[in-house]
Structure 1
Amino acid sequence: MRMKSLKRLAAAGLIAATGLLGAVSGSLAQEVTLRLHQFLPPQANVPKLVLDPWADKIEQESGGRIKIERYPAMQLGGTPPQLYDQARDGVVDIVWTLPGSNPGRFPSTEVFELPFMMTNAEATSRAYWDLFEKHMKDTEFKDTHVLGVWVHGPGMLHSKTPIDELSDLNGMKIRAPTRIINALLGQLGATPVGMPVPQITEALSKGVIDGCVIPWEVTPALKVPELVENHTEFGGDHALYTTTFVLAMNKARYESLPDDLKKVLDDNSGQEFAAFAGRTQAGADGPSRQIAVDRGNNIIQISAEDTEKWKEAAQPVYDQWVAEMKEKGIDGEMLIDEARALIDKYTNN
């Protein structure tokens, strides 16, 4: 009997030891939960086509050790202009936002928002990443760990009354996303109204604005084709404008990760991710445009020849921006030259 009892005790001890080892090995797996906060509803194209696939890939390549919780439409509180500081301060772990939501804070990014600067979203996003690494990473964005930067596809006008030529803009209240686009609209004769993208739907429906500038891809989520009947596109090789984005992570949170999990994030960051994000976001333009076409909306196309008149009218925006950059100790002309050279390089590759 005594021998059987000893055997039972030994077996129980082995089971307990095995359980303890399992618990230790489980803790070594170091599961990490990261909270991703952004301003668009979950069904919008950027979360659906860019952010969710990116987060899914991180989870998969980490073997499940990283979990990314997604919080759309400002579910964790605050307003879109507060997103960057939420990442900087550790209120959340990762944010997707517009640098331009904080006017004057990220001045170098504005070079890509200058009128008729961008060609296509992939080439311009690659150029943006290069310029970010050279001029912005250790200065304007030094307070966070940046995972990606990119731009959307060609920005255009959506309005309640037709915009066939420059003079049609006179006195129209047009929503703009950033300081530079506000300046552009003002220079072209409109009354610019700055507001975050989630406010567009209500502002259009209540008549606060007569139109807005956004790319095609976000129009369905905002019900724009239902609220306006006119959409003005531009010919030529360069778009009227684009907007810069950043996917930023709390620096301390990134640095706290073990090296192998940092590598998972690193492998899904940088220029190739920028190119993917820009290309994918712009890729949703066509299907979104078709929604407006199917509704019978008025698609206005400014010819390449007439677009040159818009370019000439927009030139003072460049001059003013260069002067503003000089006051900040930034060589605006140099940034313009570098951005153009990089965009041309990646457009023609």
Structure 2
Amino acid sequence: MKTVRNVFGAVASATILAASVTFGATAANAAELKIAHFMPAMHPMDQGVMSPLAEEINAATGGELTMRIYPSGELGKGPVQQYKRVVTGVADIVFGIPDYTPQQFAKTGMVHIPGLFANGTEATNALWDNIGLIEDEYAQTKLLGLWANNPSVLITSNKAVRTLADMQGMKIRTPNPVMAELVKAWGGVPVSMPTTETYNAMNTGVIDAVMIGPSGIRSYKLNETAKYVTTNIPSALDSFYLLMNKSSWDNLSDDHKAKLDALTGRAMSLRGAKAFYDAGQAGLQLAKDSGVEMIEIDAAADAEFRAQMEDTLNAFIDKIGSENGVDAHAIVAALGSK
């Protein structure tokens, strides 16, 4: 009987040991990636890109690879530092804006040239069609996504802008360097600041207007600070990235790399562009519902704006090319070719 008990005990112990080894191997293979962004958790980019990606990679890997999203700057305040956070490994993945570090992403910034694209989907496809021209700017990271929103609208607190003359002397928050140069050419005063600061700046008179993609109306409650929105001034659109730390990428298994690749890239980027478009339409509707006056400049005013900005645009492209040792005009031509 003693022998039987010993045999039974040995078998049971071996079974428990095997089960614990199997469980331990599963736990060891599981990984959680930290995604950092600076917007509220309900922002269209969280709900339209990052949260779906987290759900999809969890399903694709059977829970072996998961993502935890840290919104609202939980892994560090200040959207300007997003690129640094992903390079240094503070976060495994970050959402960010190339023009917050324009020297790093000078070539990507050529997609912002006003007049190239009617919408974010066209711009996003152009970026991926020409990724070979700009991919070296992302060499310190793993590029997961790159997309654009729709051209900016002009949101003003007290003064309607219907003509070039209306813009003279206005302090305008601009979304990127090229729009800063154009605002100067148009007679305004460009002000650079993160989108998170625009609400208070409008309310306190630090700035008179905000130039931003229309989705920003809802995200930053700008309908509460605005009296007018001019929707069709010839303006730039913004670009956005989702980047992964190189070491975090290298540490993934080949299977997990393949599955993450399949879920990201152009397809995910186009989803980001659509999410911005839908959010932009919702933002414009919110402004209307809040009693904000919607303005469209007429053909004569449009021609005046475009004539005034032509020399400035060419000079800006020349400057970027000279500073970075690239043929910036060729990049603009490639991006703008249909």
Task: Specify the alignment match of 1:334 in structure 2.
Answer: 330
8 Å CA contact 1:156–1:241 kept in 2: the answer is no
Quote the Cα distance in structure 1 between the aligned partners of 2:84 and 2:302.
38
1:142-161 aligned within 5 A: 142-160=139-157, 161=159
8 Å CA contact 1:147–1:269 kept in 2: the answer is yes
2:12 aligned with 1:9:
no
Quote the Cα distance in structure 2 between the aligned partners of 1:216 and 1:224.
10
Q: Secondary structure at the match of 1:107?
A: coil
Matched letter for residue 150 of structure 2: G
Matched letter for residue 68 of structure 1: M
Tell me the CA shift for residue 20 of structure 1: 3.1
Q: Secondary structure at the match of 2:205?
A: coil
> Which of the numbers 223, 226, 230 marks the counterpart of 1:225?
223
Q: Deviations over 1:241-295 (max 9, x none)?
A: 1011111110111011101100111012222222221122112211221111112
Quote the Cα distance in structure 2 between the aligned partners of 1:162 and 1:308.
18
Quote the Cα distance in structure 1 between the aligned partners of 2:274 and 2:37.
20
Q: Deviations over 1:97-131 (max 9, x none)?
A: 11100132211012111122221111111101222
2:183 aligned with 1:185:
yes
Q: Secondary structure at the match of 1:254?
A: helix
Tell me the CA shift for residue 4 of structure 1: 4.0
Task: Specify the alignment match of 1:51 in structure 2.
Answer: 50
Q: Secondary structure at the match of 2:231?
A: strand
User: CA separation of 1:105/1:26 partners in 2, compared to 1, >3 Å: closer, same or farther?
Assistant: closer
Q: Deviations over 1:170-190 (max 9, x none)?
A: 111111122222112111111
Q: Percent identity?
A: 26
Q: Deviations over 1:175-229 (max 9, x none)?
A: 1122222112111111111011111111112111111011221211211011111
8 Å CA contact 1:100–1:179 kept in 2: the answer is yes
Per mean C-alpha deviation after superposition, the further-off stretch among 297-306 and 185-194 is 297-306
2:88 aligned with 1:89:
yes
Tell me the CA shift for residue 304 of structure 1: 4.2
Structure 2: segments with no counterpart, 5+ residues:
none
Q: Secondary structure at the match of 2:206?
A: coil
1:99-114 aligned within 5 A: 99-114=98-113
- TM-score normalized with structure 1 length: 0.91
User: CA separation of 1:50/1:2 partners in 2, compared to 1, >3 Å: closer, same or farther?
Assistant: closer
User: CA separation of 1:22/1:124 partners in 2, compared to 1, >3 Å: closer, same or farther?
Assistant: same
- Report the RMSD for the aligned CA atoms in angstroms: 1.7
Task: Specify the alignment match of 1:284 in structure 2.
Answer: 279
Q: How many residues end up aligned between the 2 structures?
A: 336
Quote the Cα distance in structure 1 between the aligned partners of 2:202 and 2:9.
75
Quote the Cα distance in structure 1 between the aligned partners of 2:73 and 2:21.
41
